[in-house]
Structure 1
Amino acid sequence: MSTSTSRLNNNDNPDQEASRLYGITPPESQKSAVLHRKLHQNPRHVVASQGHFLQLSNGQEILAACDSPPVASNLIRIQHALVKQMQEVSYCHSHFYATRAAEDLAKLLADSTQGEMAYVFSVSSGSEAMEAALKMAHQYYLEKPNPEPERIHFISRHCSYHGSTLGALAASGHAARRAPFEPVLATSCSQVSPCYAYRNMDLGTDHTASYLKRLEAELDAEFQRIGPRAVAVFIIEPIVGAALGCVPPVAGYCAAIRQICDKYGALLIFDEVMCGVGRTGPEPTARFPQPLHAWQDPLIGVVPDIQTIGKGLGGGYMPVAAMLASRRVGRALERGTGAFVHGQTYQSHPLACKAALAAQKIILQENFVANVRKQGLLLDLGVAMGLHELGLQSPFNISLYPGTGSADGHRGDHILLAPAYTVTSDEIRHIVETLTAVVTKLFENLFDSGRFGEERIWDENRIMLHIDSFVATGTSK
């Protein structure tokens, strides 16, 4: 691994200023035609990947602690599966044709829920899956035996993120991400408080039961405010991802919201795009001895009506996500028009489905979710854009996922760790040790710059007090 370090002189250039504060190498001067996420800074170029490491064009090797495919890079079994699929059927339009890859993936996913989710609609991204889920919910109310077309309102939670497309963004409660597009977002969405004990439960006067009662009362009041027969769905991430920093609910929360949805006849949608397909290491039970979905963990313990999954579904090999619908929701459409009024050119794409099928078979056959639980407990023993950028520099060579908005939608930094499901104990220790070094170095730079006045905090535990949250993916406990 590379150990070289660059030092740059400070001037008024923002990139140079970032370098001075965080040790960030300035972007390459060559103009890119790609519309990157940052228009004034070219990202580092990856030229190869193997296992859990990325090799950059400058020779660095980066341990992918937050952006690694669940089953690691360049697995021969997945490569062979994709080549075979390309030789058989590389594409056909799902409006007219079906493929074995799409059928087999749908069956695997339905079987993984013990038949609770009986219908699978595969697409290319989590945002697309959420759009499909919202439309499925609306169509359900139009076509159920006793139609309720007046149910057009969606409730979600503050500090939530369900996708970048306009419908999914309207259903999100992430204030900073909504702000630029607020004028064009649908107004048939509202938010209630998240289940976020870290910030919202008063440890001096609250206990879990009283905090849970407050959340129940708030959601019930929102149903009453909108009109009990006007609400179509309540949408949550059962374990919140980037919007809050891997936050699980308090015990009993999901059962309580399930009860409220049932009370008013609304559907419950679980967005498991980030936390699903094994990412949070759900605990096995007698009913689900090899759980794949976050809702199968006893902490969640309830079945949604509609579910979205993505990110880890394709193992990092193809862009693929899916919407899963319960038997009740799907049968309403079967007995109604007999069609889902929604479709995309690349839905059920045979290559994407084959990659997802191969990845999920490996995850299940090798029982990688058990390793997620094991290594997640190690991460739980350990400790935002500055950490991400500094971590990519030598001598750290680690990728960290930065996030913000966990305090009020704008303020509150956090970082996520989401290594491959196959990560080893030694790599976990390396991640934690390197993260600690990155945090220490970042605050050294900030203190040296005068950002925190004269006080210098070198004690590791006290430094952590300045970090909003450091909850690790890989354990939902």
Structure 2
Amino acid sequence: MTTDPFVSSSHVLHRSFTERPTKIVAGDGISLILENGKRIIDASCGPSVSCLGHTQPEITDAITKHLKNEIAYVYSGSPYTSSAAEELGDLLLSHKPGGLSKAVFVNSGSEATDTALKLAVQYWHERGQPQRTHFITRKQSYHGNTIGALCVSGHDSRREYYKSFMSNNVSFMDPCYAYRMKRENESDEEFGQRLARQFEDEILRVGPDRVAGFVAETVSGTTLGCLAPVPGYFKAIRDICDKYDVLLILDEIICGMGKTGTVHAWEQEGIRGPDIQTIGKALGAGFVPLSGVLLHQKIFDALSAGSNKLAHGHTFQAHPLACAAAVAAQKIIKRDNLIERAAQMGKKLEALLRKEIGPLPLVGDIRGRGLFWAVEFVLDKEQKTPFSPDVDFCAQVVRDSFDMGLNILGSLPRSGEYQVDHILVCPPYIVTDSELEEIVSRLSAAIVKTSQPFVQTARVNGHTNGVADVKP
């Protein structure tokens, strides 16, 4: 592939060198407006970020008001705070959900993951167990792109260049990927219990006195595609963590803050909550870079009884302007009951996806919760045969969708043992019934277009569906 001339001449280092990025000049509701005036329905919110759409005058006003009337920047390493940071903390934690009582506000989800890991290690130092530095996490997971976050991410291609930097105090267990990993005649409960035993076995192999925490996405995001756990899975994991005094660290950077129909995705798992939780994306609704780490009161108690400080920090931690924008976003979400609305609209989205997308010949699975859904593609529905990575089927669905005026998100490159071709459909919380119908209609047309050469070849070969050796 040749380098695109625009990318070559641009002073911005773009993430893809082979295609010219399309310039977005404005937003209107849930639509993106391109340089040529074309409107694109944003059905993915970027990587599930812009949960309030792209135009929110109240947030714009909150940002300008803050800059006019309050301090623009306060250094977290100094003995100062800001009203915006304190108000955001109160909004999120005044009712202490699951015992979570303190927040650290940072910029990116990757920073949040690094902060969570450091918090866990500091916690054990303060508890007099400094040998607890081992983390157990899951294959084909993604927790961020900094070196620390990649160390606990089971994403093969994103780790590949940096293998020499990867920590040796991390081990990986299977994800809760029932669609491909359940054995024949195995129930959801049996599958969940099997994974729980695998987790307990890994704790015993490493040594309970060495394990600091277990890191997992409550609902998987871009690697396994809006993959919710089977019922009882996290309850079993929580019980095992309690049994061996291991910290449960839940990553809700992409799936949290209302995306799945509850503020926290773990609220649907029948557990008391995590010990440490990361949040982001929908926290600031895309108007500002902002993520956070929420910690249980017991974490704070250990730190305050020991060194009495946080042994970590960033220059732009708890940035007042970012917090002010997030306060405005969270107030809109609460005032307009948008999380409850996300749950209701999610049921409508699910029904539309199952009716219009599910029967298509190369659609293997539809999964998700709330307004957080994915479609996984396969060559053969019965065999669940994946596409070859060289085909990059989901990327073509994304391109064809864009041509039809729809923005969706495709899966990340090779993430592990299972080739997972999927696209994400996670529209803003403000999406309407008619917009949902239009999203699914355009998506269906795009999938049909992308599928056509595969299905035609299969028919020529005498099959009614795609098969593993089908080539476009």
TM-score by length of 1: 0.84
Output the CA distance in 2 between the equivalents of 1:321 and 1:376: 24
Determine which of 90, 99, 114 is the counterpart of 2:72.
90
1:100-154 Cα shifts (integer Å, max 9, x gaps): 000000111112544721110000010000100000000000012xx11110100
1:39-62 Cα shifts (integer Å, max 9, x gaps): 232211001101100011122111
Determine which of 342, 347, 350 is the counterpart of 2:312.
342
Q: Structure 1's 235 and 454: CA in aligned 2 closer, same or farther, altered over 3 A?
A: same
Partner of 1:304: 274
- The 5 A counterparts of 1:17-56 are 31-56=9-34
1:411-456 Cα shifts (integer Å, max 9, x gaps): 22011111101111111111111111100001225567x7x69459
Is 1:422 the counterpart of 2:430 in the alignment? yes
Output the CA distance in 2 between the equivalents of 1:209 and 1:175: 29
CA-CA distance at 1:157 after TM superposition: 0.6
Give RMSD over aligned pairs. 2.2
- The 5 A counterparts of 1:79-118 are 79-87=60-68, 88-96=70-78, 97-111=80-94, 113-114=96-97, 116-118=99-101
Is 1:357 the counterpart of 2:327 in the alignment? yes
Q: Which amino acid aligns with 2:157?
A: A
Q: Which amino acid aligns with 1:140?
A: Y
Output the CA distance in 2 between the equivalents of 1:107 and 1:258: 26
Q: Identical aligned pairs, as a percentage?
A: 37
Partner of 1:329: 299
Q: Which amino acid aligns with 1:246?
A: C
Is 1:170 the counterpart of 2:148 in the alignment? no
Q: Is the Cα–Cα contact under 8 Å of residues 405 and 412 in structure 1 kept in the other structure?
A: no
Is 1:77 the counterpart of 2:58 in the alignment? yes
Output the CA distance in 1 between the equivalents of 2:132 and 2:7: 53
TM-score by length of 2: 0.85
Determine which of 38, 56, 62 is the counterpart of 2:40.
62
Q: Is the Cα–Cα contact under 8 Å of residues 108 and 291 in structure 2 kept in the other structure?
A: yes
Partner of 1:439: 447
CA-CA distance at 1:74 after TM superposition: 2.0
Select between 413-422 and 174-183 the one with higher mean Cα deviation. 174-183
Output the CA distance in 1 between the equivalents of 2:7 and 2:278: 40
Output the CA distance in 2 between the equivalents of 1:409 and 1:260: 26
Q: Structure 1's 130 and 271: CA in aligned 2 closer, same or farther, altered over 3 A?
A: same
Q: Is the Cα–Cα contact under 8 Å of residues 274 and 310 in structure 1 kept in the other structure?
A: yes
Determine which of 393, 398, 409 is the counterpart of 1:388.
398
SS in 2 for 1:279: coil
Aligned residues: 423
Q: Is the Cα–Cα contact under 8 Å of residues 8 and 17 in structure 2 kept in the other structure?
A: no
Select between 68-77 and 80-89 the one with higher mean Cα deviation. 68-77
Q: Structure 1's 32 and 256: CA in aligned 2 closer, same or farther, altered over 3 A?
A: same
SS in 2 for 1:307: strand
CA-CA distance at 1:180 after TM superposition: 1.9
CA-CA distance at 1:219 after TM superposition: 0.5
Q: Which amino acid aligns with 2:292?
A: A
Which structure has more relative contact order (CA 8 Å, sep 6+)? It is 1
Determine which of 295, 298, 304 is the counterpart of 2:266.
295
Q: Which amino acid aligns with 1:436?
A: S
Q: Structure 1's 43 and 455: CA in aligned 2 closer, same or farther, altered over 3 A?
A: farther
Output the CA distance in 1 between the equivalents of 2:97 and 2:199: 30
1:178-235 Cα shifts (integer Å, max 9, x gaps): 2221221111111111111111112x32012221221111111101111111100001
CA-CA distance at 1:242 after TM superposition: 0.8
Partner of 1:265: 245
Partner of 1:286: none
